[in-house]
Structure 1
């Protein structure tokens, strides 16, 4: 709903606080999971209204934040719990989270309740205080928007992704522009939330590579990791005169057709959440 690690964490806390404060409203025989989802959905809708966020143009979501996979693994439901689909890859990838931010809040809620949580139309309508017809109409509009906004190509197999990430890291550490470009799709796309910059195409990306490799910034070391069920690389830079590699950026990578289709680049402030050190002690 929120596409932000920090805001989602706050929303979880607020959900449990509201549940505790209003526990007398919980009626015996009520499904506690449904009751909590109702509260959580309202918490998210309140947060969206508070920030006055409107569907962004060109899918630029400046509040987008990555979610560490190790936290998803820790929170993954057991086999006895029916909501394992919640952490399915296609519903947690940044491309999906970005696309659903284009939806008005209630359409977003309907889509997640129906297509991610697999709620019925009647259950969804009741939670959002809509008619079933209105809920179904909202779902149809949301699906249509999502189809036009999401990348159409399927993801590469996981093993292929790992190999491609390793090649990308190798090219970056060797400052090999030619090798790096060979791994990219012609329509490569780079965004850097919370900054509004967008770089489209190999020619635009070449400027970024040239600055990283040829401007005297220093030497690079990259550590593979994963975010939102997709590959990621944590970049460390050893500036001239420094004896340590220091946290610089985190790239979440979308791959399609055996090549890199998109980088979503975040600052070093996320390293701690990913269990990554601020400094590498390599000489």
Structure 2
């Protein structure tokens, strides 16, 4: 299964008998699946089924889903609220007879809110029931397009993440091969430090020097960290190969990568190893940043 990004856009235009409709789906990063639906008036009953279909195909991301509908104009019927109009005329006659107002005009009366009522047959149950299946089929097509868009971006992200994992592996190997980790190198460095302090090598006890170097080497040993790094590298490659919704698990691995990198830097006793550890932290941070985009 391909790796998917959480970012994407899809648009589907369709026809449901005499009504044209458009679905638009936008997706951005999110900790879980959060869906915001905007539906035309009268179509609120579609929301539950729409959420069900979105949830069946997508597991993470903040979604904005909108449906616009172009209804035929001849579906709207107009009627006059005769009782309301008669009451307005009665009140107008009283005001005119009292000399407090001029006789009302027809256009003025009809312009008052509530005099003309609009009944939209597009909101009737029969009209909606007949067209709902085609509209929901359009949603499925829009979801297909969104999934394809997210997978296309996911393929690009996978290549970037695999490159970062390769860099982590290279740096881990460089740390493992660093000559500064050897007991001989530690003894030489310790000898120089003592000589600089005393100003002479006279009186240095080789056995004591060896003992102190061994203690330093034990405290600075990073083999466990390197072993865990290599295990995480294998796990990251397996998840990228598995595909699907692996973003959360890769994010956990990125935290583990960062933990081992920090420990390597804290244990480092040589500039060369510190440089490797710092570069490792940079690459791990790049890895984690890209993982945030994965489903």
Which of the two has greater helix per residue? 2
Q: Which interval holds the TM-score relative to the shorter structure?
A: under 0.3
TM-score (norm 2): 0.19
Q: Point out the structure with max Rg over C-alpha.
A: 2
